[in-house]
Structure 1
Amino acid sequence: IEELSLGSTGGLGDRLSALPDDILHSILLRLPSTPAAARTCVLSRRWRGIWAQLPEIRFPFPSNPAAVGPALAASAAGPALRLLHVACRDDTGANAWLRTAASRLIAGGELYFYKRTPGEEKGQAEALSWQCRNFELPCFETAAKVWLRLGFVDLELPPTGVFARLTELRLEHVNLERGFQLGDMVSSPRCPALRELCIARAWGVVSLCIISQTLERLELDILHGLEELTVVAPMLRALNVHACFAWRKPVAAIYASRLEVLWWSDAFDPSFVLFGEVENLQQLTTFDIHVYGRFDYALLQDYVMLLQHFPTVSCLDLKLNYQRVSTPSL
């Protein structure tokens, strides 16, 4: 270690800088962020620009999103990216650098962009209504994984283009002004390799129709305003529907002959919810039942109808919620 020290002693040279580029890349990739890697340029001329040759760009929370664009520009002459990870409190310049990233990711590359705001961190989504900026989702033709958490800004979906290699898509905390386009975008013609899809805490999706020949896992978590759901997915094995219909009578048709695991924490009425040819279901999980306190008989009725609809599951995940009752001190 002493012989490789940058601070040469005993007449030794800068032997660390003499290492091949691939070893220096391996060293920099172990640093926590791209800014940390960029700061190594002060060590010597040899280190200048080494960070821009890395296949990963990482800006962990809380980062400055305005620095992502310059980092992408500095690395333009380097290799294609296998990872872009940004976590921040605003989306300054994000539309521009996401378009650049879409063209720079290698086949099988991954993109993670998390935008958090003080209002969101406190669980106050309504406090974010002042943020009505449009956010444009580019078509990632080469990415395998795309995770976006956008702090409830308006998300504009790409009307055309094929996400040819996308296997996993997560959209969280988004307003979908044209929510009717979501089903078209995630179905097989435009996502021919999609296996996992999660839409969580979204507004604007009134009707959702997903037709996929590859989808294996689908999670829909709090889709405010959803009225109608259709899923045609012969490879689907796990489905999670949580609080999407706001306890209204849902209208849903699920055609998933290989479905094995079902989480249904929402309203249910077999007159309006159709499960076609679901013969392989092994596990059923539903909402919590409060043992004490105010009792919701309508909710219990939905729960009973759900159990009656699947009478032969191997595993029933039933949660009884016993709220702690405080006793007055004497």
Structure 2
Amino acid sequence: MAAWLPIAARRISGDLLLVLQTNIPDYEVWERGALELPCFENATSITLELEGLGLTMPPSGIFARLTNLQLGCIRLRGPSMLGEAVSSPRCPALQKLTLSGTSGLGNLTIHSESLLEMTLTRVHGLQQLNVTAPTLKQLEVLSCFTKGRMILILPVANISAPQLESLMWWDDSDPKFTQLGKMENLQCLSTFPFTIYEETDHVRELQNSYCTRLLRRFELIHSLRFQLVNDLEDIITNQQYLMEDITGLPDITFMFLDITGNGHSFVPSSFHLLRMCTGLRKLSLTFCGTTIRPE
């Protein structure tokens, strides 16, 4: 791979799709070191799925035509910062950035004049996220500041995206640590699933607080995607009802309501939300067999 990639970088003028499948144990993958990604000056789209192999970003060069970059199951290594490589000086045409199941990225700082869509899913170990993207329309951040069922850190995020229209934020949204900036054009919001009854799972309680914090940030949104979850498998007896923690919703006209009831009644919890939606004009109900959460 190390020998082949530079050859490909000189020849490719369109799309690169590279998927590695291996049965090598994780500890052996880590010991094998890392590949250095060459600068693909003429590539328009790069998708890498490396099954946990290490990858270092090129220290120099310009991805002049790159509009789409997707990195999955990659251990980012080396001194070169990913944020520097995908920012406008070196990626002047980038429109879509997707990171999924990556590790080794503690700080992601991006300054992009062209970026339109950005999706971060399970970027393990992320401690700081700084995004300045005046044209960004869609942002999704899912389980980047958590690992499994343990909360690792308080995230430090600073997002400047004044043209943002769609936000999915499934992570901590404490205003002390998460600065989302002015999003006056926001049309669609999606929050962490809300657990209806108290559980012994401390992580679920934190996720409920993330959900309510995010809702309090906005007064007017066209559409809201909200998920109600009842994970209790047994009969509900002395469990505390948590819906009263939601004291208000943004002024919305369209709600996507996803419900995971596990055989329990969802009517009281649903009505609790709908009573707050005095301007609602359209409702979409989806009944799910299992909880919708990123693993």
Could you tell me the TM-score, scaled by structure 1's length?
0.65
Residues 257-276 of structure 1: CA deviation (Å, up to 9, x unaligned): 10000010111101111122
2:99 corresponds to which residue? 199
Three-state SS of the structure 2 residue aligned to 1:199 is strand
Q: Does 1:265 align with 2:163?
A: no
- Which residue in the other structure is 1:131 paired with? 29
1:297 corresponds, among 182, 205, 225, to 205
Q: 3-state DSSP class of the match of 1:192? A: coil
Which of 259, 276, 280 in structure 1 is aligned with 2:181? 276
Aligned-partner Cα distance in 2 for 1:215–1:179: 24
Q: Which has the higher helix share?
A: 1
Opposite residue 28 of structure 2, the aligned amino acid is W
When the two chains are superposed, the root-mean-square deviation of aligned CA atoms in Å is 1.8
Counterpart-to-counterpart distance in 1, 2:139 and 2:80: 20
Summarize the alignment of residues 37-52 of structure 1 with structure 2, pairs less than 5 Å apart. none
- The answer as to 2:164 corresponding to 1:256 is no
Asked if residue 112 in structure 1 is aligned to residue 17 in structure 2, the reply is yes
- 5 Å-filtered alignment, 1:13-162, equals 94-106=1-13, 109-118=14-23, 127-132=25-30, 133=32, 134-162=34-62
2:190 is aligned with 1:285: yes
What corresponds to 2:266 in structure 1?
Answer: none
Contact 2:192 2:208 in 1 (8 A): no
CA distance in 2, matches of 1:175, 1:182: 12
Q: 1:179 to 1:304 in 2, by over 3 A?
A: farther
Report the Cα offset of residue 289 of structure 1: 2.2
Higher relative contact order (CA 8 A, sep 6+): 2
Query: What's the CA shift for 1:317?
Result: 0.5
Residue matched to 1:240: 140
For residue 98 of structure 1, report the CA deviation from its aligned partner.
Answer: 1.7
Q: What is the percentage of aligned positions where both structures have the same residue?
A: 39
Structure 1 unpaired stretches of 5+: 1-93, 120-126
Q: How far apart are residue 180 of structure 1 and its match?
A: 5.7
4+ residue stretches of structure 1 with deviation over 6 A?
none
Aligned AA for 1:310?
A: F
Q: How far does the alpha carbon of each residue in 1:241-289 deviate from its partner, in whole angstroms, 9 at most, with x for none?
A: 1111114321111000100000101111011111222110111111222
Choose 1 or 2 for highest CA Rg.
Answer: 1
The separation in 1 between residues aligned to 2:87 and 2:39, in whole angstroms, is 14
Equivalent residue, structure 1, for 2:81: 181
Offset at 1:326?
7.1
1:220 and 2:115 are equivalent in the alignment: no
SS of residue matched to 1:184: helix
Aligned residues: 225
Scaled by the length of structure 2, what TM-score is found? 0.72
Letter in 2 for 1:281: L
Deviation at 1:203, TM superposition (A): 1.1
Question: Secondary structure at 2:89's aligned position in 1?
Answer: coil
User: Would the aligned equivalents of 1:175 and 1:203 in 2 still touch at CA under 8 Å?
Assistant: yes
Q: Give 1:138 shift.
A: 0.8
C-alpha distance in 2, partners of 1:326/1:103?
61
Alpha-carbon contact 1:180-1:207 (below 8 Å) kept: no
Structure 1 residue corresponding to 2:223, chosen from 288, 299, 315: 315
Residues 156, 180 of structure 1: CA spacing in aligned structure 2 closer, same or farther, 3 A cutoff? closer
